[in-house]
Structure 1
C-alpha cells in the first residue's frame, strides 16, 4: 500500500465508537469522549507531565523539547510510550497506527490539524499552554475521568508552594525578575508565563514592568534596565554551546547589567531551563520549587508521593 493511502487506511481502522461517552466542552467545540479511555495520546509536554502525575501512561506523546524522545525525569515512566513528533509537527501516521481512543492537544499548537486528529479518535483541545498550565492540569484530569485525583494533586502543589513561601520568610517580599538569555533571543518573562505562575504560587512579587498578559518580551541590551528586580533568576540553553556561553558572558558583563540592584547585591542566580521553561508541567513546577528552596537556603520535607 502506498504511503498516500496508508494514513487514511489507518485513520479508518482507528475510528471506534465508545460504549459509553461523556460530553467535554473544549477550545474547539464539544466532543464525546470515552468514560474510561484506555489508549490516550497526548500532544503537549505539559500534558504528558499531567497525565503521568495522575497515574495515566499515554500510548503516544509529543516528543520533549530538546530531548530524544523524552526528558530524563519522565523517561522511565514512558518506557512503552511512542513518540509522536514535536508539538508543532505531530506525525499523524504514527498516531493513527496506535489506535488511540482519545487524543488531547492544544489549540495554539494543533488547531490546523484538528479535523485530521478528530478523524483518528475523539479529540479535545486546551486553549493554550504556558500560563494556563495549572488550569489545563485540571482539564486533563476531567477529560480522562480522574478529576478528583487532579484536584488533589493541584492542592498538594499549592500547599507545598505556600509552605516554601513561609519558609523563605522576609525574602518572599523580593521582586523577582525572570530572564532567558539565548543568542539573538533574550527575553524577559512576565507573570503570565509558566514560571511566572509558579512564582505566584510561592507568593513572590514581580516588578511592575513584568506584570503583563504577554508571556515574554524580547529585548536588546538597551532595555536591560527592564530586567530590574530585587533578585534575578535567569536560564539559558542547558547544553551550554560555545555560542550561548559567549552570549551569556556578554550580557552578564554589560555595563547596564552590572549596575542592576540584583547584580550589585549578588542576587543573580542561574536556574535550569528544562524546569523553568521547557518542561512546562507539574513535575517541572516541583523542580522549580526545589531550585528556589536551594537558592534561599531553606529545607522542605520530602515530597509526598
Structure 2
C-alpha cells in the first residue's frame, strides 16, 4: 500500500473516531446504570414526554414513539419532527425500527417499557425514568443529563419556575383558588389528582383542590351521581376523543346534567375546556408551558412568554 493510501486510511479512521460519540458517562436511572456518550448524536425517544423534552433542548430525535391519538405527532411538534421516524406506540415500541436507526441513546420510562428494557439496552444505551405524569420535572432533568444537556435542561426548568412565580404573584387573592379537574373518555370519566401531570402544574402554582381530588394516584373514576364532588372555584375539563365522537358525547352529556349546571363554577361561567394533549397525555416541558399559557388566559393575566 502506498504512503498516500496509508495516509488517507489513517485520516478516515481519525475522522470517524472524532465524529463518533464518546462513551464517557454513567447515568443512574430507574433500571440501573447506563454508560452513555457525552453528546449523543442519534437519540430515540419512547414517550412523548421525552420527545418534547429533547425538542425543547434543541435535540431532534432520529426516532420517536407516536404521540398518543395523533398522526403521527401533536401539532406543536409536527415541524420539528418532520424528519423523525415513527418507532411504534408508547405502549408498543417497534424494536426492529429502533435497531435500524442505530441510535446511540434510547430514552424510555420504566412504567411503559420495563419488560423490554433488556432488548432496548442491547440495541443502545437506554435510560429510563421511573414513572410518568407528575414527575415530569425530575424526568426532564434525567433526560437532559443523559443527552449531555444538563445545564440547558436546568435553564428550561428555571424558566418554568420563574413563570410559575410570576403567575402566582399576578393571581393575587386567586392564588389559592380551588381548581377541579375532570377528563372525559368514551363511556367513562376521571377526576384527576395532584400526582397527575395536570395536578402537578396546579400544585406548582399553589391552587387548592377539592377534597375528593386529594387522593393518592393519578386519577379516579367518577360517575354522574358524584358531580357534586367537582365543586370548586373553577373547573377544567379535557376530552380524550379518538374520532368516533363517544368521548365528546360523554362530555356533552355530563354538562347537560342538572347537577353540573347547578355547580357554582358552572353558574359563574368558570368552566373551561382545555386541551387533552396539553393537560393529560403530552407530559413534557412544552406541554407544561402551554398549561401555564391556559392559566394566564383563564385569569386574564399578561402573557409571561
> Is TM more than 0.5 here?
yes
SS class of match (1:30): strand
Residues 175-202 of structure 1, C-alpha deviations (whole Å, 9 max, x = no match): 0000012222200001111011111222
Partner Cα separation in structure 2 for residue 240 and residue 192 of structure 1 = 28
Partner Cα separation in structure 1 for residue 175 and residue 243 of structure 2 = 30
1:166 Cα shift? 1.6
Partner Cα separation in structure 2 for residue 48 and residue 226 of structure 1 = 35
Where does residue 78 of structure 1 map in the other structure?
Answer: 81
Where does residue 274 of structure 1 map in the other structure?
Answer: 277
Partner Cα separation in structure 1 for residue 273 and residue 242 of structure 2 = 13
Where does residue 146 of structure 2 map in the other structure?
Answer: 143
Where does residue 285 of structure 1 map in the other structure?
Answer: 288
1:1-305 matches, within 5 Å, as 19-237=22-240, 241-301=244-304, 303=305
Residues 232-279 of structure 1, C-alpha deviations (whole Å, 9 max, x = no match): 011113677543333222211223222322223221111111211121
Report if the CA contact (8 A) 2:185-2:241 is conserved: no
SS class of match (1:67): coil
Partner Cα separation in structure 2 for residue 20 and residue 243 of structure 1 = 49
Report if the CA contact (8 A) 1:61-1:83 is conserved: yes
When residues 240 and 161 of structure 1 are mapped into structure 2, their CA distance, relative to the original with a 3 A threshold, is: farther
When residues 299 and 105 of structure 1 are mapped into structure 2, their CA distance, relative to the original with a 3 A threshold, is: same
TM-score, normalized by length of structure 2?
0.89
When residues 240 and 262 of structure 1 are mapped into structure 2, their CA distance, relative to the original with a 3 A threshold, is: farther
* Aligned positions, number: 286
> Which runs of no fewer than 5 residues in structure 1 stay unpaired?
1-16
> Which runs of no fewer than 5 residues in structure 2 stay unpaired?
1-19
Partner Cα separation in structure 2 for residue 51 and residue 19 of structure 1 = 19
SS class of match (2:185): coil
Where does residue 11 of structure 1 map in the other structure?
Answer: none
Partner Cα separation in structure 2 for residue 235 and residue 41 of structure 1 = 29
Partner Cα separation in structure 2 for residue 248 and residue 19 of structure 1 = 52
Partner Cα separation in structure 2 for residue 157 and residue 56 of structure 1 = 19
Partner Cα separation in structure 2 for residue 209 and residue 225 of structure 1 = 10
Greater C-alpha radius of gyration: 2
Report if the CA contact (8 A) 2:187-2:247 is conserved: no
Partner Cα separation in structure 1 for residue 47 and residue 148 of structure 2 = 19
SS class of match (1:181): strand
Partner Cα separation in structure 1 for residue 30 and residue 53 of structure 2 = 18
Partner Cα separation in structure 2 for residue 154 and residue 213 of structure 1 = 25
Report if the CA contact (8 A) 1:138-1:147 is conserved: yes
